[in-house]
């Protein structure tokens, strides 16, 4: 029994840590994408499928030991759907499914999806149902970027058995270093309060600088960085999803 004590103590220490996950959106277009990917730690990268460097950077992120997601363009309340591949409310189920399949084909190693924009589409349970049906079929998870307070996406995902979680904090809604630092500390405060928290950021120089400076400090605060899939696997829906994927 005494021989087991060190491992038991270590397990207890791990359990005492609050968990944060940080998703870096809009990968595929920016000069700083590679520098963001090269940051140490378990960061998750959401790749825009039509970015000129989308496939290459998805592979690079995987090679660097990072987690990869599809950042799926969806129609916003502005009604702009000019970008090729945007899921919109005029689409029938077959076109939604085709759009998802084409997008995932451009983002190798993707294990889940979050919405790019989508403040209009994520309000529509019918279209979200089609999205979640395909995600469940293919074994993907969903992260609601919460671009609209009226989003039903997370709820529909839960109803369809797709592991889902929502964003708590946008790190760089205001793109200046002081604001990003405040958002980062708010992320930590939420994690310490409820045990876990999710942030979304972007490949901006200011965001890169803040993450370089502050990520090394979180362990001393009783917090650790994990891939977003870690939080989902710990959820009840994640357990059911794992059983489905193994079949």
- Residue 75: which region, alpha, beta or left (left: phi > 0; alpha: psi -120 to 50)? beta
The encoded tokens of residue 188 equal 């930590």
Residues 6+ apart with CB under 8 A from 142: 112, 113, 114, 131, 132, 135, 153, 154, 157, 162, 163, 164
Asked if 211 contacts 203 with a C-beta cutoff of 8 angstroms, the reply is no
Higher pLDDT, 243 or 20: 20
CATH architecture of the domain with residue range 30-233: Alpha-Beta Barrel (3.20)
pLDDT at 239 over 50: no
CA 9 – CA 70 distance, rounded (Å): 38
The label of the residue with tokens 């968990």 reads: 19
Confidence of residue 246 (pLDDT cuts 50, 70, 90): very low
What are 231's two structure tokens?
A: 């939080």
Task: Enumerate the domain spans of the chain.
Answer: 30-233
Q: Any idea which of 1-10, 129-138, 176-185 has the lowest mean pLDDT? A: 1-10
d(CA 83, CA 72): 12
What number is the average pLDDT over the span 33-49? 98
**In degrees rounded to 5, what are phi and psi of residue 116?**
-95, 120
Residue 247 binned pLDDT confidence (cut-offs 50, 70, 90): very low
Cα gap 220→89, rounded to integer Å: 47
Mean pLDDT computed over 130-157 = 94
For the record, the structure tokens of 112 come out as 């889940």
Give the mean pLDDT of 41-59.
98
Four-CA torsion 180, 231, 138, 25, nearest 10 degrees: 10
230 is written with which tokens?
């870690």
> Is the confidence at residue 2, as pLDDT, over 70?
no
3-state class of 117 per DSSP?
strand
Q: Map tokens 């965001």 to a residue.
A: 207
**Measured between alpha carbons, how far is 184 from 22 in angstroms, rounded to an integer?**
10
Q: What is the DSSP string of 3-14?
A: GGHHHHHHHHHH
* Torsion on CA atoms 172, 174, 178, 183, rounded to nearest 10: -50
pLDDT given for residue 13 in this prediction = 47
Residue 13 vs residue 208, higher pLDDT: 208
Closest listed residue to residue 139, CA positions, set 50, 36, 232, 205: 232
Q: What is the pLDDT of residues 70-119, one digit of tens each?
A: 999 999 987 655 567 899 999 999 999 999 999 999 999 999 999 988 68
Half-sphere exposure of 70 (CA within 13 A, CB side): 27
* pLDDT value of residue 236: 56
User: Three-state SS for 78?
Assistant: coil
Question: Binning pLDDT at 50, 70 and 90, where does residue 208 land?
Answer: very high
pLDDT of the residue at 82: 55
pLDDT score of 3: 43
């Amino acid at each position: 029994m005494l021989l087991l004590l060190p491992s038991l103590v270590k397990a207890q220490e791990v359990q005492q840590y609050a968990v944060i996950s940080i998703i870096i959106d809009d990968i595929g277009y920016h000069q700083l994408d590679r520098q963001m990917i090269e940051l140490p730690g378990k960061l998750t990268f959401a790749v825009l499928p039509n970015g000129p460097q989308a496939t290459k950077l998805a592979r690079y992120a995987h090679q660097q030991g990072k987690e990869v997601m599809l950042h799926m363009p969806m129609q916003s309340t502005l009604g702009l759907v000019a970008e090729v591949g945007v899921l919109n409310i005029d689409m029938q189920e077959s076109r939604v499914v085709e759009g998802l399949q084409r997008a995932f084909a451009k983002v190798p190693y993707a294990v889940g999806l979050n919405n790019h924009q989508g403040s209009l589409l994520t309000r529509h349970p019918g279209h979200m149902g089609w999205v979640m049906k395909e995600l469940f079929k293919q074994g993907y998870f969903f992260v609601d970027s919460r671009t609209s307070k009226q989003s039903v996406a997370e709820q529909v995902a839960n109803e369809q058995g797709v592991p889902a979680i929502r964003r708590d904090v946008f790190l760089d809604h205001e793109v200046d270093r002081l604001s990003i630092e405040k958002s980062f500390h708010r992320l930590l405060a939420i994690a310490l309060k409820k045990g876990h928290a999710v942030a979304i950021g972007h490949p901006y120089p200011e965001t890169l600088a803040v993450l370089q400076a502050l990520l090394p400090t979180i362990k001393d605060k009783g917090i650790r960085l994990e891939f977003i899939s870690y939080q989902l696997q710990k959820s009840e829906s994640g357990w059911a999803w794992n059983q489905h994927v193994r079949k």
